[in-house]
Chains A and B, each alone.
Chain A
Amino acid sequence: MNLFDLKNNPNFLQCWRERNRPATVGSAVTLLIIIEAMIFTNAYFDDRLGLKSAQDVTPWFVDSISALAILQGIVLLFFGSVSAYRLSSRERTNRTIDFHRSSPTPRTHQILGLVLGSTSLEWWISLLILTVQLILALLNNLPVIAILQFYIQLALCAALYHALFALMGISRDPLKNKAGALILFVGIYFLAHILVANKLSFVYQCTWLPAYEQLDSVLKPENAGRGWPHYGQNNQAELNYTLFGAVLPALPFQMLVQIPFMALFLAGIGRRFTNVEQPVLSKSQLLTSAFYTFTLFTGSYVSLHFFSDDKHFRPEGYIVSLLILMMFFAIIGALLATPSHIGYQRGLRRARKLGLGHLNWAHNSSSNAVWGGLFCLLCATVLAIYFHLFSTSPGNAVLASLILLGHIVFFVSFVEYFNLSAMHSKKPILFTVIVILWFLIPLFGTIISAGAGKMPTALVALFAPSPIFGVIETFLYLMEQKSREKFQNQHVAVSITLIIIWSMAVSAVLLATYERRRLKSLG
C-alpha cells in the first residue's frame, strides 16, 4: 500500500466522506463565490471610484490576489486547524482509535490519513482560491510562479499547524484530562508570544508571514524588502531570513524550521495511535527538540548580535527569552519524561522479567534522572555559547549556570519524587506546592519589601525558590550586570540563593532516589 494512495487510506476515507457531503460542499462553494465576489467588487470600485489614497497605485486585480491570499491563509490556518483538532479529538471520545490501533494499517498511513482527511475540505477550497488567483495573474500578466511559491509556503505552514492541532486533539483524553489540550495550547500560545516579541528569524519562519511577504514584494514592488510588519528601519527584514549570519532563501529556511517540528508533531500523533497512555513525546524526542530549538534560537540571535543595524538593539530581552525557554522545556520535559507511579512499577517488573537491572534510560517507564542530566548538560552547553558572546567572567558564568540548573534539577527531581510517592494520585498537591514555592512566597517577599530601597539580605530566602527570580539572577550574572545590588549584601545574598536552590534540588534528588529504591524493594 502506497503512502499517498489516499483512496485506500481508511482514516482519510472516513474524514473525507464525513467532511465532503454534497450539502457541505455546496454551502462552502456558495460562500466562497460570495466572498470572492465581494473581494472583486470592493477592489474594483475602490480602484475605479478613486477611493484609495493618492500614493496607492495598485490595480484592482493585484489587490484581489492579495486579499485572496489572506483568505487562503484564514481557510487553511484557522479553519483547517480547528477541523484537525475536532476530528482528532473525536477519535478518543468515540473510542474509534481502538479500532485503528487493532488494524494492520501502517501507522504512517493512519497519521497522514487523519491529518489530510480532517482538513480535506479546507485544502480543496484553498486550491479553488488558487485557481482563481492563477486565472487573474494570467489575464493580467502577473508572475504565476510567485503565486505558486506563496501557495507552497502557505501549504507548508498549514501542514505544520494541522499536525500541531491534530496532536492536541488526539492528546485530549475525554476521561482523564479534559484540560490537557487547552493547557498545551495556552502554553504554546504564551511561549510563542514571548518569542514573537523578539525579532528572531526562526520564529518569523514558523509563521506564514514570509510567504505573504514574498508575494507582496512581487505583486507590489514598492513594498519589497520592507518585511512584515513593515519595520521600515534598519535591516530587520533581511535578518528575518538570516541564521548564524547566513542569508537563506525563503522556502528552504521555512522548510528548515517547519519540517522538523512538523515531523515531531506527527511522531507525537503516531505515539498516541500506538499507545494512548504513553507520553506524547519520548525522552529522546524531548531532548532532540530542545536541542534543535536552542540551535535555531542561537542561530537567530547570533545573526542579530553581529549584524543588526538597529542602534537600539539590546540583547537583554533575547537572553531572558532564552532562559524562559530553557525553563519551559524543563517543565514540559519533566512532566512528559517522568514515569507515572504505575508506569515506573511496570518498568521495574518488565526489567525483572527480562532479567535486566533496569530499562534503557529512554524507555517511557524509566526514571527521568538521565534525561534530566542530559538536559542540564545541553542547557549548560548552550549557556556557554552565550557566556562566550558576552565575555562573561568564569566566576559569574559558573554562578549563572548553577542558579538556572539548580531550578531545573529541583523541578525534574521533585516531579519524579511526587509521581513515585504515595501522593501520586493527588495532583493538586504538586500544583499547590509549586504555586506556593514559585509564586506565593516570592509575592509575599515582594509585598513586605515594597518601597524598600535595598532589601534586607535575609529576604532573599523568600525569592530564591522561584525560577522567575532564578531567571533574573542567571541573566544578571550572564550579562555581567553591575546594577544588581538589590540586597544589602549582594555576595551573601548570592550565597543564600545558591544554598537554598541547591538544598531544594539535592533534597528533591534524594527524595526521588529514596522513592525509586522503595518501589524497587516492593517488588
Chain B
Amino acid sequence: MGTMISLKSLRVDYEDVNAVKDIDLEISAGQIYGLVGPNGAGKTSAIKAIAGILEPTYGEIKIAGHDLELEPREALRKLGYMPDFPPVYENLKVWEYLDVFAAAYLIPGAQRAGKVKHWLKKVSLSEKHDALIKDLSRGMRQRLILAKTLLPDPQVLILDEPASGLDPLARKQMRDILKEAAAEGKTILISSHILTELSEFCNAVGIMEKGELRVSGSIEEIRVRLGSHKRLTVRLASPTPANVDKVYHFLGNSKHCASMAKTEKQEINCLFTGSKEDAAWILTQLTLQETSIYDFTCVEDDVEDIFLKIGAKEVS
C-alpha cells in the first residue's frame, strides 16, 4: 500500500504556543486513521496544516506523493477537507453550494448536476435541493459539508470533528458513508475527542497530547506495544454472595486472569491474558458449576482504553 499522507518534522507555532511539535506520520492508502487527543492537543492545527490552510513553521507535508509546498494544486486535488465548523454561503441554495465546490475541484460543468444530486441523496438532503442554506439546521449544514467534501471523489479525506452538531441518526449515517468510502480505498484522517465515535471504524490511531504525537499505529500494534490485555466481565442472573464468591475464586485461580475486581452491581471483572479457547473453557467450567451466568464477555481494549492508558485524562 502506498503512503497517502506523509508528515515529516511538522511543526506549527502560535503566539507563545507550540501547537504541533515536530511530528512524523505516515498513513497508508485505505487506512482510517483516528487522530485522538484532548481539546488543545494540536489536532486541529495539524489537520489545518495538512489541508493547506495553515502555514506550518516548518516540515514536509505530502499528499498522495505530492509536496503541499512545492505542488499545492496536485496535492489539494487529491484532498477533501471538512472542518469542525461548517463555513457556508448563507444566501446560496443547497445545490448551488455543492456546484460551486464541484467547480472548485475542476469537475466539468456537464457532470456537476448529476454528482450534486447523487451526494444530496447520500446525505439525505434531496428534498432540500432548492432550499437556501440559511434555512438549514446545524446538523443539515454539517451533512451538506460532508457532501461537499466527498463530491469531488478525493483520494484522501481530512475530517476535523465531523460529527459535531449531528444527531445520533445522522452520526450513524455519516459513519456508514465513511466506511463505504474506506471500502472504496480512500484514506481517511479523522480527528475527534469523542473516542467512541472513532473506535468503531478506525483501524489506526494517533494520540496527540500537548502538540506531540504520543503514539501512532494500528490499534493492534498499539495494544501489543502497550502490553494491552482483554477484559473479562461476568454477570450473574442471581448474584447471591455465594455465587459471586464461587465465580470470583474460580477466576482468581485461573492463570489467565489478573487484577480481579467486584463491582457494586456484583459483576466480576478481570484482565484476561488467555486465548479465545481459554475463555471458552472457563465459560464451560463456570456453567457446569451452575453459577447462573447470563453474560460472559471478553473484549479487547478500545481506543478509549488505549488513550486512558497513555495517560491523557482530559478526554471528553
Contact = CB atoms under 8 A, between A and B. Distances in A.
A349 B15 contact: no
Interface string B75-95: 011010101010111111100
A432 interface: no
A94 B85 CA distance: 10
Interface residues of B, number: 39
A102 interface: yes
B87 A104 contact: no
A342 B85 contact: no
B296 interface: no
A7 B108 CA distance: 10
B58 A349 contact: yes
Given A342-B13, A342-B15, A102 B53 contact: yes
Contact of B104 (A94, A103, A342): A103
B76 to A, nearest CB: 4
Contacts of A180: none
Contacts of A7: 109
Contacts of B51: 98, 102
Given A8-B108, A9-B103, A103-B101, A96 B87 contact: yes
B57 A104 contact: no
A17 B92 contact: yes
A275 B55 contact: yes
B100 A102 contact: no
Nearest to A8: B103
Contacts of B77: 104
Interface in B44-80: 51-53, 55, 57-58, 72-74, 76-77, 79
A41 B91 CA distance: 38
A346 B100 CA distance: 35
A102 B61 CA distance: 14
Contacts of A98: 51, 53, 81, 83, 87
B43 interface: no
Contacts of A95: 83, 85, 87
Interface in A64-123: 94-96, 98-106
Interface string B7-35: 00101011110000000000000000000
A18 interface: yes
A13 interface: yes
Interface string A270-281: 000001011000
B104 A104 contact: yes
A10 B96 CA distance: 10
Contacts of B103: 8-10, 13, 105
Interface string A244-279: 000000000000000000000000000000010110
Contacts of B53: 98, 101-102
Contacts of B106: 1, 8, 104-105
Contacts of B15: 341-342, 425
B76 A104 contact: yes
A230 interface: no
A1 B104 CA distance: 11
B105 interface: yes
Interface in B269-287: none
Given A14-B100, A102-B51, A96 B109 contact: no
A8 B109 CA distance: 7
Nearest to B16: A342
Contacts of A17: 92-93, 96, 100
Given A99-B87, A275-B55, A349-B58, A104 B73 contact: yes
B79 to A, nearest CB: 7
Contacts of B83: 95, 98
B101 to A, nearest CB: 7
A345 interface: yes
Contacts of B14: 342
B133 to A, nearest CB: 10
A252 to B, nearest CB: 36
B99 interface: yes
Given A98-B83, A101-B53, A346 B104 contact: no
A425 B15 CA distance: 9
B58 A353 contact: yes
B100 A10 contact: yes
A103 B9 contact: no
A208 B156 CA distance: 49
B9 A102 contact: no
Nearest to A346: B57
Most chain A CB within a 10 A radius of its CB, from B77, B79, B87: B87
B88 A96 contact: yes
Given A94-B88, A95-B87, A349-B57, A100 B13 contact: no
Contacts of B16: 342
A8 B105 CA distance: 10
B153 to A, nearest CB: 13
Contacts of A99: 81, 87, 101, 104, 148
Most chain A CB within a 10 A radius of its CB, from B55, B57, B105: B57
A353 B58 CA distance: 7
B9 A353 contact: yes
A450 interface: no
Nearest to B78: A104
A353 B60 CA distance: 11
Contacts of B90: 94
A49 interface: no
A104 to B, nearest CB: 4
11 contacts: A10-B100, A17-B96, A18-B91, A18-B92, A94-B90, A95-B87, A99-B101, A102-B52, A342-B14, A346-B57, A353-B11
Closest 7 interchain pairs by CB?
Answer: A10-B104, A103-B104, A95-B87, A104-B77, A10-B103, A104-B76, A353-B58
Given A349-B13, A354-B58, 15 more contacts: A1-B106, A8-B108, A8-B109, A10-B100, A10-B101, A13-B103, A96-B88, A98-B53, A103-B101, A103-B104, A104-B72, A104-B73, A277-B55, A342-B13, A353-B58
